Amino acid sequence: MALFEWRQRRRPLDGGGTRRRLLLFRPLYSRKLKRMILFAVVFLAIVPPLFFHFKLRRIRQIAAKKCDWLQHPPRVCAHGGDSTLAFPNTMDAYSYAIGSRVDCIEVDVSRSSDGVLFALHNRDLQRIARNSSVQVGDLSMKQIKELDVSQIVKGTLDNRRIPTLEDALALISNSVGQVILDAKVGPPMYEKGLALDILSVIERSRCKNCIVWAKSDTLARDLIRRAPHLTVGYIVMVDPLTGVRSKLLRMKGASVVGVYHPLIDENLMTVVHRRKKEVYAWTVDEADPMKRMLHLGVDAVVTSNPVMFQGLMEDLRTECLEEGFSIRT
């Protein structure tokens, strides 16, 4: 018992300094702990909501970029009609495209040796004639009219012959919103008198919704000079010989720029739209490039497979609406 009392009375070896220091700093520890707790509460109250706010905002921005084309859908332009169901630039191909309710049809325009305009491309003529070097300008109207498309394309309908431009316009100009005439320049006359020939057919056909574009700037400028009210475009592509891209802004009077689709990016869209010109992408026949053109906001897509493009747009439209995207009316 005495031993216990002695231990109780015994002073610490350090004279009680440790205990005094603990008592001295206890308020300090308490204030620091309170500040840490307060900081943690503030952090949890502010940072996670901010994070999720900006995360949701980013998700909405991505969704808007993916779906914003719905506010201004591009025109669906059938390249030579529906080339998946019939031979290009035939009355069958045009009829299939019209039946699919496309917005526009692009018609290849070439001139025969005796000055008649046909809905025909050199490469298609070479397939029909089984001659890899023949050009439309090498043949007369009579020779072209004798060619039979059904010899190389099975399952054609009644229209087996190659139509003149007038024949084509008589069928399609009142059936679609827009007709693109892709004017080809070739022998024997090249650009000589071609603008007048094209304008003459447009006038006789009363095609109010025709636009004309060409790889030849000489022809395009001649059309602008002779018909100021006609919608004229020029082509942007990579020169197959030099590998150089043609100049983007080079024709003041042209309101449409037909661009080879791999060349199109956001910068190109900004530059062209800033000059109040429309961008038509050609020729887009696969799903991924089609989606890319939609996201970039091109004004029209020229495709040999219009039904596929229409179906893709419908699928993406449904997906966007299911994700909550709203279309402004």
Residue 5 placed within a domain: no
Residue 193 placed within a domain: yes
For residue 305, the enclosing domain spans 72-322
Residue 67 placed within a domain: no
Residue 7 placed within a domain: no
φ, ψ dihedrals at 214, nearest 5°: -160, 155
**Cα 253 to Cα 3: distance, rounded to the nearest angstrom:** 114
Residue 145 placed within a domain: yes
Residue 158 placed within a domain: yes
- Contacts with 313 (C-beta within 8 Å, 6 or more apart), sequence order: 73, 76, 294
Count of domains for the chain: 1
**Cα 277 to Cα 60: distance, rounded to the nearest angstrom:** 29
CATH code for the domain of 178: 3.20.20.190
Handedness of CA 45, 47, 50, 52 (dihedral sign): negative
Please answer whether residues 103 and 75 qualify as being in contact, where contact means their C-beta atoms are separated by less than 8 angstroms.
yes
Residue 14 placed within a domain: no
State residue 61's pLDDT score. Answer: 52
Residue 32 placed within a domain: no
pLDDT tens, position by position, for the chain (329 residues)?
A: 454 454 555 555 555 555 555 555 555 557 777 778 877 777 777 767 766 656 555 555 555 668 999 999 999 999 999 999 999 999 999 999 999 999 999 999 999 999 999 999 999 999 999 999 999 999 999 999 999 887 776 555 566 789 999 999 999 999 999 999 999 999 999 999 999 999 999 999 999 999 999 999 999 999 999 999 999 999 999 999 999 999 999 999 999 999 999 999 999 999 999 999 999 999 999 999 999 999 999 999 999 999 999 999 999 999 998 888 777 66
